[in-house]
A and B are shown apart, each in its own frame.
Chain A
């Protein structure tokens, strides 16, 4: 080794050290996985963005476009499938409209302002259920990203890996990982722009186009919140009840109890339909799966209990079997 190269070694080592996340933190930017995740959540709801991304699950690839706008009045979102059936979701300040043109079906539900949703205050750092860490920076859709790993400490939930835009904190790529760390679902932007203004016409539901479709509309009944009708014998570690409502849904004549559980990262919904056994014949009980999503329907003499969430199948089943009805 000559003298010039040996003199360069300390500088190269210093450069390498500066590129590590820890060094970036020392340089002034406090990089913590937890903070990055919170910033990412904020960016997803508060930024204007127009991008194309791929969604991969079970070896099935979908290309989609998403347009998102946000101001003090709330969020607007439009999502379109770019291959196959031109499925669309319009989300404005009052409604969410999902359109499947081939089957001419539409689901319309109330949209909720993020402001009225329960806030998850649980700290993810030093959590008993997840281990957070930073990986080496990467590049997605031509933009530099931080990479955050979230590894579960048990098999009751999935792991995550996020690629977060270093400049805007927007989520540019994410993986949902099973217990063997295989990616079971992925989303990755291939291009993204952050326009200052977006034409509001993009978010307008094509009313005339869906007039002839079969539409499931929300039932306009005042929300009966905080009515405690459902409790649980025991929940998997870390899952806590976040909210409970008792309200009508388009799929059912009577009101349904909806309990939201969360462990701080994953959310699980528990639905209780109060229908007698004789009226449950059309419903498939047991587990249903779609990519990383699992649902478990449990039949009792007086109710159908369905648990839905992006958690392993055994978790939705365990939660469904733990449900106890108070009323």
Chain B
């Protein structure tokens, strides 16, 4: 499948029909196995993003599992002790090989780069999909209440489940535990309750008092009041 095919599928997904010969594109997509699979993946990703229910096929979950199992652990900071052994996973070493490849390298090196880039995209897609799978299959009633679960986790009031971890086992495939992080702002996240001005004011009042009375406010490194200045306050009680 060419990059143009992916672009065309993306346009179809986004409803940008006016720039395409839609009938021809659909026909081409249906006749090509790679395009069909890509089309299916795009739909799953879209469903996850929209919090819609998704269909699961066993082959996909197995591939997701394989992709996640190979995902390197990484950190955005160097080790305090300069011990890099934890980060030296095969994929990281592979990435370093690609990164250190001289310009104008041979075709083998170019393939390594392409393969790694493809892996990175696949891993990110897989991660988004696994979150959806967990939410769907983790529902105690087998999925009947998944809409409510998803809505409470990522809907308008997205903080409710933001720090809870979600874990379940897809039949036949062990899925690693994922931390569900959806707190996009800087505000108090409370799993058991929705945001409310009263709750936030209470905690911020405690925080202000804590900062002002902390004997280690300067020692602990952060400019103490930056946490309050950076606070995204809520203006109304959310229902």
Contact = CB atoms under 8 A, between A and B. Distances in A.
Interface in B188-219: 188-193, 197-199, 201-210, 212-219
B219 A120 contact: yes
Given A58-B186, A107-B201, A287-B191, A119 B231 contact: no
B188 A64 contact: no
Given A118-B215, A310-B220, A249 B209 contact: yes
B223 A159 contact: no
B216 A120 contact: yes
B230 interface: yes
Nearest to A291: B186
A274 B107 CA distance: 72
Interface stretch (A18-26, A39-47, A318-326): A39-47
A6 B38 CA distance: 60
A155 interface: no
Interface stretch (B43-51, B73-81, B88-96, B139-147): B73-81
How big is the A interface, by class? 35 or more
A79 B233 contact: no
B27 interface: no
Interface string B215-239: 1111111110111111111110000
Contacts of B168: none
B183 interface: yes
Nearest to B236: A103
A109 interface: yes
A130 to B, nearest CB: 11
A246 interface: no
Contact of B229 (A79, A160, A292): A79
A110 B212 contact: yes
Contacts of A119: 215
A98 B197 CA distance: 15
A288 B221 contact: no
B77 A40 contact: no
B187 interface: yes
Contacts of B204: 98, 107
Contacts of A96: 208, 212, 225
A168 to B, nearest CB: 14
Interface stretch (A7-15, A200-208, A259-267): A259-267
A105 B79 contact: no
Interface in A59-117: 60, 62, 64, 66, 77, 79-81, 84-85, 87-89, 91, 96, 98, 100, 102-103, 105, 107, 109-112, 114, 117
B192 A286 contact: yes
Given A91-B225, A290-B187, A269 B220 contact: no
A284 interface: yes
Given A265-B220, A267-B220, A105 B197 contact: yes
A111 B212 contact: yes
Given A96-B208, A251-B201, A79 B225 contact: yes
Given A60-B184, A310-B222, A271 B206 contact: yes
B190 A284 contact: yes
Nearest to A90: B225
A171 interface: yes
Contacts of A140: none
B181 interface: yes
A299 to B, nearest CB: 11
B163 interface: yes
A187 B223 contact: yes
B58 interface: no
> Top 9 A-B pairs ranked by shortest CB distance?
A174-B221, A284-B193, A269-B210, A41-B218, A267-B214, A62-B230, A44-B218, A100-B233, A288-B190
10 contacts: A41-B218, A41-B219, A79-B229, A96-B212, A98-B229, A100-B231, A177-B77, A181-B75, A249-B209, A265-B219
Interface of B: 75-77, 79-81, 163, 181, 183-193, 197-199, 201-210, 212-223, 225-235
